[in-house]
Structure formats: C-alpha cells, structure tokens
C-alpha cells in the first residue's frame, strides 16, 4: 500500500467495484464466511444489493435451493473455502450448480445457475489468510448449451443405433424373403421385444409363411393323390384298350366267319342280324378308341412351338377332300400361334370332320375356316351351313358321350367335341359355338398369344 502513493484508497475501491469480473470478498471466519464486500458485477449477476449482503454470512445470503434435493452448492463451496484456508493456495472449483434467488411477482424463487468459481487467499506478512477473494463466472448459458448438445448427441447416437438396428432387422427380413422365394422356409424370422411396425411385418410374414406351408403340404398330398389316381387311370386305360378290344375282335371275326361259312344257309333277316352285330362291334371299338384318346390327351404334356396354322389346316382339309369332294372349303389366311402341333391338328380334324358330317347332306355344303385377333388371343373358327343345333341344348355340346343328334341321323361317339375342349383348355384357351337348326354351326376356339 505504501508503494501506491499515486492512488487513494477510494480509487482502489472504485477499481474493485467496476471490475468486469464477479468478485466477492470473504472473511475466512469458517463456518460463517462473512461477506466483506462485493463488486457491482457480482451484485448484478446474483441479483443482490450491497447493503443487503454486507457483513452477513455467505451461506446465509446464498443458501441451497430447497426444492433441488441434489443441491450441493453450499457444501462444495464451503469445502473449497476450507481448502483455501488450509492450503493457503487458490482453489478452482469445477462448474458448480448454484441457484440464486430472484424476486418475481409471485414471490421469491430460485433460478437455475451454473458457475465457474475460484477462491484465492490473500495473505499477510505472517502468512495468515486475511481475506478470500471469490471470483465467479456465470456459465449457465454455456452449460445449458453444452447440456443441450450432450442431450442431442445422445439422442442422435440412440437414433442412429436404432436405425442401424432397424436396418439389420430389415436386411434379415429381406434375406428371409429371398430365401422364401426358393421355397426354403427353414429359418423363420423372430420378432424383437420392440413390438413396432417391423415386428408387425414379421408377425404378418410368419403367419403368411405358415399358411403357405400348410397349403403346400395340402398341395403335396393332393398331388400324391392325383399321381395315384393318374396311375390308376393309366393302368385302367391300358386294360381297357387291350381287354375290351379282344372280345370285340372275336365278336366281329366270328360273325364274319358265320357269314362266310354259313351265310348260304341264312335268309336275309339272318344276314342283316349278323350285320347289326358287326356294326355295333365296330361302334364299340370306335368308342373305346375315342375314350382312350380322350384320356391320353388329358395326361399328355404340351410340346409348344410356333405353328403355321395355314399349313396344318390345309393338310387336314386335303385329307378330307380326298375322301369327300361334295363340300366346298373356304380357307381364309390364318394367324400363326404357339401350341402343341399334334394336339391342335386333332382339334382342327375334329371340327372339320364335324362340319363335313353335319353339312354333307346339304346341296351346297360350304365349310369356312378363318381366324381373327381378339384382345390377347387369336380366335379360330370353323363354320358350316349344315344341320346346326338348337342353342338351348348348348350346355351338352362339349360333354363326353353327349350328342345333340341321333346316331341314325349322324354317326358319332360324342367324344370329338369333348376332346376339342380338353385340348383347348390345356392351352389355356376357350371353346364356344353359335348355331341355328338347319342353318349351320360355327365353332370357335381361342388361344392366348402369350402364355
């Protein structure tokens, strides 16, 4: 002090009061720690007035916030001050929460504050602590910002962890889906404990797979039954073709022998009777043949190639022309189609054969064959101007052994159109017909352009 002649005590006090840092001068009289003075910055920051706090105990002026049960400002500050007295050295406290009292309209409340505090001893010549200079910096804003940053960082970390976790779960679902497409259902997905949308997807997927597995089991059983039935049918038709034909041949042969060897002893009625026997044996043979063809077509797989329908139909028509030249044919240019050649040839043969059969008795019998595009199909038709039929019997038209004409009018087994329908259905096509009695019939079949 003696060295500072140029300045008065009052000057120092002024300097102290206007210093921008927050400074409090404390007496080292533990445990009171009487406040000796405070500068203006300190008073502003703590919302206090000098006369209110002067010569009062530090902790009497700044008690802990009673509503903060974890408040440790008083005890930490007290310990720091004790340390300073003992060690005679400055002590810096880590950032400390220390709420301050402010007067509002609703009374005195505590406001949350964070401080960086340092306590510095002032020593005399005898090395005794005579004052403690307590400086503080209000770091509430920074602290809050840091806290907020920490919270946000933690949230981001948690979110990105969740995202990563969800990504893994989605990947698991995707690879499971991929596996499922190969019909491998061995590793079912497990649901997490989250119960979120992904779990809902997994639950849905699992029940779908369960259902699918059940259906596949059923399908397998059905297929086995079908294969068994097919085998049965196979051996049945084999027996039919062999065992039913042999007696027919005997009936036929021995009737013929009877006619040849004993015909001279028979009158006309006797000979006609033998004719009836022979004719019916033939009819039965035709029935067996048609039935076998029908069942064979049902079992047979399709060998699909692009077919030149003009060639196929012209071939069929030429064969018929060779046997019958009373019918006029009109063949329009035909669209090509993908299909089983021999099966579709059978279809054309049956339809043309019907057209000839039912129009053959007419004076100017005309059979027209053509095709046109319709949606995603090609429609082929065989039209005649023959006997036709009444559309009210239409539902019987494509049935096996169903006939709309008596055998005495027109011969037939009733298998031809059933066979046509079976072949076209195998090609995923449709068959239909339009007719009027005595005016003729048109049979249509459509085949899909792309299967």
Helix (H) or strand (E) holding 445: strand 440-448
User: Residue 189: which of 181, 197, 177 has the closest Cα?
Assistant: 177
Contacts of 391 (CB under 8 A, 6+ apart): 434, 435, 436
| Closest CB 295 distance from another protein, rounded Å | 12
Alpha carbon distance 203, 27 (integer Å): 72
x-or-dash pattern for another protein, window 179-208, by CB under 8 A? ------------------------------
**Of 253 and 263, which CB lies nearer to another protein in the complex structure?**
253
Residue 332 binds another protein, judged by CB under 8 A = no
| Closest CB 261 distance from another protein, rounded Å | 10
Phi first, then psi, for residue 20 (nearest 5°) are: -70, -25
Alpha carbon distance 335, 308 (integer Å): 8
**SS3 category, 172:** helix
325 in Cβ contact with 360 (< 8 Å): no
Count, residues near another protein per rule CB under 8 A: 19
| Closest CB 240 distance from another protein, rounded Å | 9
**Of 101 and 280, which CB lies nearer to another protein in the complex structure?**
280
Helix residue spans in 360-426 (DSSP H) = 416-426
**Of 144 and 300, which CB lies nearer to another protein in the complex structure?**
300
Contact region with another protein (CB under 8 A), list: 268-276, 279-287, 333-341, 428-436: 279-287
| Closest CB 260 distance from another protein, rounded Å | 9
Q: Which two tokens stand for residue 415?
A: 């298998």
**Of 243 and 267, which CB lies nearer to another protein in the complex structure?**
243
202-225 as b/e: b if 16+ CB within 10 A: beebbeebeeeeeeeeeeeeeeee
Q: Which two tokens stand for residue 183?
A: 């019909």
x-or-dash pattern for another protein, window 280-309, by CB under 8 A? -xx--x------------------------
x-or-dash pattern for another protein, window 232-271, by CB under 8 A? ------x--xxx-xx-xxx-xxxxxx--------------
| Closest CB 388 distance from another protein, rounded Å | 33
Q: Contacts with another protein in 3-32 (CB under 8 A)?
A: none
Name the one residue in this structure whose structure tokens are 């031809």. 416
**Interstrand relation of 304-307 and 430-436 (parallel, antiparallel or unpaired):** unpaired
**Of 242 and 392, which CB lies nearer to another protein in the complex structure?**
242
**Of 43 and 277, which CB lies nearer to another protein in the complex structure?**
277
392 in Cβ contact with 372 (< 8 Å): no
| Closest CB 243 distance from another protein, rounded Å | 8
**Of 152 and 257, which CB lies nearer to another protein in the complex structure?**
257
Q: At what angle do helices 416-426 and 268-299 cross, to 10 degrees?
A: 10
Q: Which residues of the chain form contacts with another protein (CB under 8 A)? A: 238, 241-243, 245-246, 248-250, 252-257, 278, 281-282, 285
């Amino acid at each position: 002090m003696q060295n500072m002649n140029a300045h008065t005590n009052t000057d120092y006090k002024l300097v102290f009061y206007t210093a921008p840092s927050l400074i409090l001068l404390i007496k080292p009289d533990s445990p009171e720690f009487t406040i000796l003075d405070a500068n203006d910055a300190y008073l502003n920051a703590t919302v206090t007035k000098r006369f209110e706090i002067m010569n009062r105990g530090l902790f009497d002026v700044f008690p802990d916030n009673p509503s903060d049960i974890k408040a440790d400002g008083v005890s930490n500050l007290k310990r720091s001050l004790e340390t300073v007295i003992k060690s005679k050295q400055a002590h810096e406290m880590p950032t400390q929460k220390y709420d301050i009292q402010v007067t509002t309209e609703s009374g005195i409340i505590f406001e949350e504050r964070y401080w960086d505090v340092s306590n510095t001893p002032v020593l005399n010549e005898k090395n005794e602590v005579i004052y403690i200079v307590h400086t503080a910096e209000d770091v509430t804003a920074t602290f809050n910002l840091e806290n907020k940053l920490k919270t946000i960082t933690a949230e981001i970390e948690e979110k990105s962890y969740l995202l990563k976790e969800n990504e893994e779960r989605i990947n698991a679902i995707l690879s499971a889906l991929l596996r499922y497409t190969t019909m491998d259902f061995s590793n079912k997905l497990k649901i997490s404990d989250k119960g979120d949308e992904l779990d809902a997807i997994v639950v849905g997927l699992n029940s779908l797979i369960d259902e699918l597995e059940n259906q596949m089991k059923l399908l397998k059983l059905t297929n086995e039954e079908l294969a068994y039935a097919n085998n049965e049918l196979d051996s049945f038709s084999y027996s039919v073709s062999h065992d039913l034909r042999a007696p027919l041949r005997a009936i036929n042969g021995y009737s013929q022998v009877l006619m040849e060897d004993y015909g001279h002893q028979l009158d006309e009625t006797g000979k006609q009777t033998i004719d009836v026997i022979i004719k019916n044996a033939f009819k039965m043979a035709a029935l067996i043949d048609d039935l076998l063809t029908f069942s064979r077509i049902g079992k047979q797989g399709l060998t699909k190639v692009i077919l030149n329908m003009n060639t196929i139909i012209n071939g069929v028509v030429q064969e018929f022309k060779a046997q019958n030249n009373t019918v006029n044919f009109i063949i329009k240019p035909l669209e090509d189609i993908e299909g089983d050649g021999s099966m579709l040839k059978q279809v054309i043969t049956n339809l043309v054969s019907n057209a000839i059969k039912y129009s053959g008795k007419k004076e100017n019998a005309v059979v027209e064959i053509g095709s046109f595009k319709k949606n995603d199909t090609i429609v082929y038709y065989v039209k005649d101007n023959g006997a036709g039929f009444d559309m009210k019997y239409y539902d019987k038209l494509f049935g096996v052994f169903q006939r709309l004409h008596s055998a005495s009018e027109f011969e037939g087994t009733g298998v031809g159109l059933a066979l046509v329908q079976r072949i076209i259905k195998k090609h995923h096509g449709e068959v239909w017909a339009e007719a009027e009695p005595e005016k003729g019939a048109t049979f249509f079949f459509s085949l899909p352009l792309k299967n």
